[in-house]
Amino acid sequence: MLKKERCHYIIKKLAENQSVSTIDLAVELSVSEDSIRRDLQLLHDQGMLEKVYGGGIPVSGKNKNHFDIEILNEKKKIALGTKALSLLRDGQVIIMSGGTTNLVFSKLIPSELKATIYTYSLPIAMQLSQHPNIDLIFIGGKLQKNAMVTIGMDVVQVLSAIKADICFMGVSSINVESGLTEKGYEVSVVKKAMIQVSEKVVAMVDSGKLDTKMPHSVCELNQLYSIITDLNPKDPKLKDYISSVGFLI
């Protein structure tokens, strides 16, 4: 198993169990304990876990980011973001919307990944600015201060010139009948522009937002490539979504 794959596995195990053991990981992954220690040190250096004697634990204390943003249901969002890592490939052109789910996801992106990422989220841009191999393009415009994202026609015009391989779309509300919806009209317009220029659109859905609705439409479910949630795809809550989208992670 490659180092990148091992690191993904370690983060997934950490999200599930809240701790990982060097010895157990070495047995499960059929590698030496020294290899696991080096993996844990790399993840520690990236701020993705705390390396302790005998293994690793979640990063302690309040969530750390440039704007001291409170992240609700962070454990769910780590699990969700870990699933999304499977869709990343070197050389991709990626668009990321705002929201704390994508902020958590941006912290999980492996340091080896080489890609171009566009975002209109200031916190996500600041987080990705630390990534050694990401070509980061922040889309400027009018700043919506409560969400720390840019909005308006300047953002839409930049998006219209992009050809993206994949878009990771943070979701405010989703249900089978109405699809994705947003509280604010201007954000819904920006998200529609993202969808238009992306080959694949992946909805990043905290399960607490399932079966909810807001005033402004973003897209129908059949416009999505996939939905990623923190739930098991076989969960009964997702049955109708599978019928509408066909591909859940």
User: Residue 85's pLDDT band (boundaries 50, 70, 90)?
Assistant: very high
Model confidence band, residue 65 (pLDDT cutoffs 50, 70, 90):
very low
Q: Which pLDDT does position 60 carry in this prediction?
A: 63
- Tokens 């030496």 sit on residue: 32
Q: Would you state the pLDDT for residue 89? A: 96
pLDDT attached to residue 247:
77
Average pLDDT over residues 89-104: 96
Residue 39, pLDDT score: 93
Per-residue pLDDT band for 86 (boundaries 50, 70, 90) equals very high
Q: What is the pLDDT of residue 66?
A: 47
Q: What percentage of the chain has pLDDT greater than the value 90?
A: 70
**Structure confidence at residue 64 (pLDDT):** 46
**How much is the pLDDT for 199?**
97
Closest CA to 219 of 190, 195, 185: 195
Contacts of 155-160 spanning 24+ positions with Cβ under 8 A: 155/120, 155/190, 155/193, 156/189, 156/190, 156/193, 158/118, 159/95, 159/118, 159/190, 159/193, 159/194, 159/196, 159/197, 160/193, 160/196, 160/197
At residue 76, the pLDDT reads 87
pLDDT at 149: 94
Could you report the per-residue pLDDT of 146-194, keeping only the tens digit for each? 789 999 999 999 999 999 999 999 999 999 999 999 999 999 999 999 9
- The identity of residue 31, as a single letter, is V
Q: Is the pLDDT of residue 62 over 50?
A: no
> Is 216 in a helix, a strand, or coil?
strand
Higher pLDDT pick, 19 / 164: 164
Provide the pairing of β-strand 164-170 with 198-205.
Answer: parallel
pLDDT at 54: 83
Q: Dihedrals φ, ψ of 98, to 5°?
A: -85, -170
Q: Is the model's pTM score more than 0.85?
A: no
